[in-house]
Structure 1
Amino acid sequence: MGENMRKKRAAVFAACAGVAVAASGATVAASGATVALSGGADATPVKAASAKGPIKHVVVLFDENISFDHYFGTYPNAANTDGTKFTAASHTPKANTVQNAGLIRSNPNLYNPFRLSSKQAVTCDQNHSYRPEQKAVNDGKNDKYVENTSVDTCTGQYGAPGLAMGYYDGNTVTGLWNYAQHYAMSDNMYSSTYGPSTPGALNLIAGQTYGVHAVDPKTGKPATDSYVLSGANAKGVGTVTNDPDPAYDDCSGKNHTSTNNLAVMDGKNIGDTMNDAGVSWGWFQGGFAPSTAYAGDGTYAQCKTSHTNIAGASSVDYSPHHNPFEYYKSTSNPHHLPPKSTAEIGHNGQANHEYDLTDFDKALAAGTMPAVSFLKAGEYQDGHAGYSDPIDEQHFLVDEINKIQQSPEWSSTAIVVTYDDSDGWYDHRSSKVLTGAQDASLNEPMCTAVKEPVTASGPQDDRCGPGPRMPFLVISPYAKPNSIGHAPLEQASVLTFIEQNWKLPQLGNGSFDARAASFGSLLSGSPKADTVLLNADGSVQSVTPPSKGKGKGKQS
């Protein structure tokens, strides 16, 4: 590499650091310099906030691109013609499914919903962009999916006419159906806004998609890019509706060699408030550990570790735009530096709470699982159609959940399984629009009929939502066994629970944590649920009745 190019690339992070206002005074020096972060290893210790109730640990397993009806459209009725046999308990409560709504044989879409077998697990990826999803919902009629989101043909994966109408049952997603049988599930949970992965990930940790700046990957200077941001104001601040890569990540934009602009977010996320309160936490993602480590000035860490799915197709594990904390300077780990020790995981240090998925397993085995953990599978196991599938996803879910259930922390843990977006898969339900938009070029009339939110920073356009309905399960000794909650929830409901459980302030500036209800309604005041370990195929391995005592898991 020439010296001029080396210096030019080294300046990118330094330039990026000046684009956004740091939420907690963090600074990112030039590539090759030490990353100095507020609350780092040498910072003054903060007295840890105590959990308000019996839940001392929250683990969020955040998977990809599933609508509620796509996985639970006939729950608890499985065909049992293929895959793993599933038999429901006789007292299983009724869910709001497409089958119970009578819409399988007579549906307003161009095609009726149809069952996908376990042999059709690897399918085409559907269109899950911001406006096509709005068009599919069609002002609550939910009748335009085939025209707007269905992708029926692709290379090397299963396709069919009107594929977006396809759904699986308990013979394929057996593990999730069994978890729903023994723990709690919501049939009324929605993405906080319409759109693909990045908006969903940002809504999970910040309840906010507004506040993005576009950044030139070569110079780090502000840029104008409608793909990165929409509804930009005079200062070049807008809303994320697509999947731009984060600027504070060496592995973004093919190691910053792409011509695609990168994204930086203003404001605070839940990581900032947990840091302020001394609550241990971490984001753990498959493939975050670099395949080639950062080597100093003028270099970038590389993330090229890959795996194959059940169809033999290979994909790189780490996806930068699936990691929401890397968009914020205060909670980023640009060079993918590892923690210096297992004891550091969840606490301040050079990794800055950003870790590889294997680090979670190390902390769990050591008995030091953080109070709040977000787990993201490598791409081949995250459930995203096109490169993943429900069977590979199930392997990830069962493996991680079994490990947690076999740890001492299980007695005080709530595991959440939910998703970033719907992938454009059909769902017969949609939410009333609560947050509208004025940008008619990007939004349907159902969105523009509702005013966009206005905060102290000004209008926040293109945040139409809530968006599509998605699965949401809570697996915990405190979950209400074999129950289905109907209270409205959204992605930001995870934020609300964390804030209330650890007595943290709301994020403000239009964050959806102000309107989102906590998922606490799915929990009981004492341990009632069995400990249910599953096999790799999702079938039940063992069932242990709950302890009569209250949870006393160790909080790290």
Structure 2
Amino acid sequence: MIEKAYAAGPCSGHLTDIEHIVLCLQENRSFDHYFGSLSSVDGFDTPTSLFQQKGWDPRTQSVDPAGTTVPYRIDTTRGPNGVGECVNDPDHQWIAAQGGNDGWLAAQARTRSQANTPVVMGYYARPDMPIHYLLADTFTICDQYHSSLLGGTMPNRLYWISGTVNPDGDKGGPQIVEPTIQPKLTFSWRLMPENLSDAGVSWKVYNSKLLGGLNDTSLSRNGYVGSFKQAGDPRSDLARYGIAPRYPADFVLDIMNNRLPQVSWVVPLTVESEHPSFPVAVGAVTIVNLIRALLRNPAVWEKTALIIAYDEHGGFFDHVTPPTPPEGTPGEWIPPTVDINTVDGSGGIRGPIGLGYRVPCFVISPYSRGGLLAHERFDHTSQLQLIGKRFGVPVPNLTPWRASVTGDMTSAFNFAVPPNPSQPNLDHPAKQLPKLINCVPNAVLGFLNEGLPYRVPYPQTTPTQESGPVRGVPSGIC
């Protein structure tokens, strides 16, 4: 159940009141996987046959094309071995993600062990991730936020920073899968930070530098900005502000010294990202620490919007079929001018590129308090559209089709009521950490696709959603 939108009237806030936009992407979780049981959202109570997926028989615990599996809870509060906290990493790349939203189990059976195939149908509930659910009860959650591309981490993060993966192949793309080796100074298309610099809007990308070269991925160290040729000049803004800043040290210093830029991309350490098989509870600690860093300076917090989303679905089931463009739509399919056999990980598939499946997204701000639900469709380019709307800067590479099916996220804010800059009551998730000892050895084995499997319960029951609280709809710009 969703309460009706706040009545239109004199605004108590405006988009221009937000002086800092902070963006953070966590990793590899679908919306149903995390929030299918949350009240009011488009979740498990939605009537659809897609919840009955063929390909696994829970009675025999084996792959069976005729078997049916429905979403089942992955219980992290009990054994065996605590493997529910650190489940195996499903296949989430381009080939596995393409299709008609009816072959989730079959897609996994092609690349994962039989016992780990059904984990894609698993979901968490409030007892398993209390901090995430508390955030949904405190701020705005978006239940139609999609990843940008049907695939993995790096291409979706390229959308997050630049709005494309260059499907035309004329500037270093198409980059549609996670590369084996991190590209260095390879791409040359335009990034959103370049547009911000040209417009005089301050920005930084704060990357974790821990573990040095052992962690030189699209998530940290030199990150995705270091993959662009334009960052090769150490005097460039891309090198100075896109590679050099450290997370969390420089981020916290900038907050405390009132020099947080107008736009920030935050990239925590890989093991903090919630990427399976890394623990959900560690991700909760990361998110709370990020929020608390902003709260340390009330003058910054009261004019900040923090958006925390997830880069892609991680291979986990979601019942909402993403909108996709007609074949050949410019910028949304790999065109015939590109030899598809040379595109890494394509499997001969030219598209569609996206939208990808739904992922969780929180909008955390004094202007989004109250356990609200934004139901407009977004993707990672929507974050760029919000920046563009607020600061009057064009979004690079945004296709007309994508602009027509995604919003600019202003509808996730509740400007019709006065902002609430008081410190939110966020119970620190550290008390969840003792159960992490049970993640050994899955935290390592699961990341290598060899994790101990979580047994599918039998007999199965159809999952349901919480009955409350009822979530109001934010006013947006009024």
TM-score (norm 1): 0.62
Map 1:351-500 onto structure 2 (within 5 A).
351-354=240-243, 355-358=245-248, 359-386=250-277, 388-407=278-297, 408-434=299-325, 450-453=327-330, 462=351, 464-479=353-368, 481-500=370-389
Residue identity opposite 2:106 in structure 1: E
Deviation of the 1:105 alpha carbon: 8.0
1:520/1:333 Cα in 2 relative to 1: closer, same or farther (>3 Å)?
farther
Aligned-partner Cα distance in 1 for 2:173–2:242: 27
1:67 aligns with 2:30: yes
2:403 corresponds to 1:503: no
Q: CA deviation at 1:366?
A: 2.1
| Aligned 8 A contact 1:180 1:482 in 2 | yes
Deviations for 1:388-417, whole angstroms, at most 9, x for unmatched residues? 221111111111112212322000001101
Contact 2:355 2:379 in 1 (8 A): yes
State the one-letter code of the partner of 2:41.
Answer: A
| 3-state DSSP of counterpart to 2:132 | helix
Give 1:164's aligned residue: 120
1:52–1:113 distance in 2 versus 1, CA, 3 Å: closer
Contact 1:480 1:522 in 2 (8 A): no
Q: Which amino acid aligns with 2:301?
A: W
**Cα distance in 2 between the residues matched to 1:490 and 1:513:** 9
Q: Distance in 2 between matches of 1:363 and 1:162?
A: 44
Deviation, 1:290, is 7.1
Gaps of 5+ in 2: 1-13, 56-67, 77-81, 339-349, 432-478
Contact 1:239 1:462 in 2 (8 A): no
Q: Counterpart amino acid of 2:75?
A: S
CA gap of 1:500–1:277, structure 2 versus 1, over 3 A, is same
- Give distance in 1, aligned partners of 2:150 and 2:33: 17
Could you say which residue in structure 2 is the equivalent of 1:325?
Answer: 225
- The equivalent position to 2:153 in structure 1, one of 191, 197, 208, is 197
Aligned equivalent of 2:42: 96
* Inter-partner Cα distance in structure 2 for 1:113 and 1:192: 24
Q: List per-residue Cα deviations over 1:361-401 (Å, max 9, x = no partner).
A: 22122221111111112111101103x22111111111111
Alignment partner of 1:363: what SS? Answer: helix
Does the 8 A contact of 2:188 with 2:230 survive in 1?
A: no
Higher relative contact order (CA 8 A, sep 6+): 2
Q: Which residue of 2 aligns with 1:27?
A: none
Tell me, in whole angstroms, the C-alpha distance in 1 between the residues paired with 2:51 and 2:310.
28
1:133 aligns with 2:133: no
**Structure 2 CA distance, aligned partners of 1:149 and 1:333?**
42
How many residues are matched?
A: 379
Answer whether contact 1:74 1:100 (CA < 8 A) is retained: no
Give the percent of matched residue pairs that are identical in Structure 1 and Structure 2.
20
Aligned-partner residue type, residue 73 of structure 2: R
- Cα pair distance change 1:464/1:102, threshold 3 Å: closer
Alignment of 1:514-525 (within 5 A): 514-515=403-404, 516-525=406-415
Alignment of 1:17-32 (within 5 A): none
- Contact 2:206/2:267, CA 8 A, preserved across alignment: yes
Alpha carbons of 1:113 and 1:452: their partners in 2 closer, same or farther (altered >3 Å)? same
Q: TM-score, normalised by structure 2?
A: 0.71
Shift of 1:100: 4.3
Who is 1:114 aligned against?
72
Q: Give the CA deviation at 1:144.
A: 1.0
Q: Deviations over 1:114-155 (max 9, x none)?
A: 1112231111100001121113xx1xxx3211110367659x
**1:534 match: secondary structure:** coil
Structure 2 residue identity aligned to 1:244:
P
- Cα distance in 1 for residues equivalent to 2:382 and 2:166: 18
In 2, are the aligned partners of 1:193 and 1:466 still within 8 Å (CA)? Answer: yes
3-state SS in 1 of match to 2:424: strand
Contact residue 433 and residue 466 of structure 1 kept, 8 A: yes
Q: Distance in 1 between matches of 2:260 and 2:408?
A: 23
Contact residue 402 and residue 534 of structure 1 kept, 8 A:
no
- The answer to whether the Cα contact below 8 Å between 1:208 and 1:512 also exists between their aligned partners in 2 is no
CA apart distance, 1:70: 0.8
Contact 1:133 1:149 in 2 (8 A): no
Q: Unaligned stretches of 5+ in structure 1? A: 1-50, 77-93, 212-230, 246-251, 254-260, 292-302, 305-316, 338-346, 437-449, 540-556
Q: Tell me, yes or no, if the aligned pair for 1:481 and 1:529 is still in contact at 8 Å.
A: no
Match of 2:202 in 1: 280
State the alpha-carbon separation in 2 of the partners of residues 463 and 207 from structure 1: 15
Contact 2:205 2:241 in 1 (8 A): no
What amino acid is aligned across from residue 20 of structure 2 in structure 1? H
Q: Which amino acid is the alignment partner of residue 35 of structure 2?
A: F
Residues 263 and 425 (structure 1), Cα distance of their counterparts in 2 relative to 1, 3 Å cut: farther
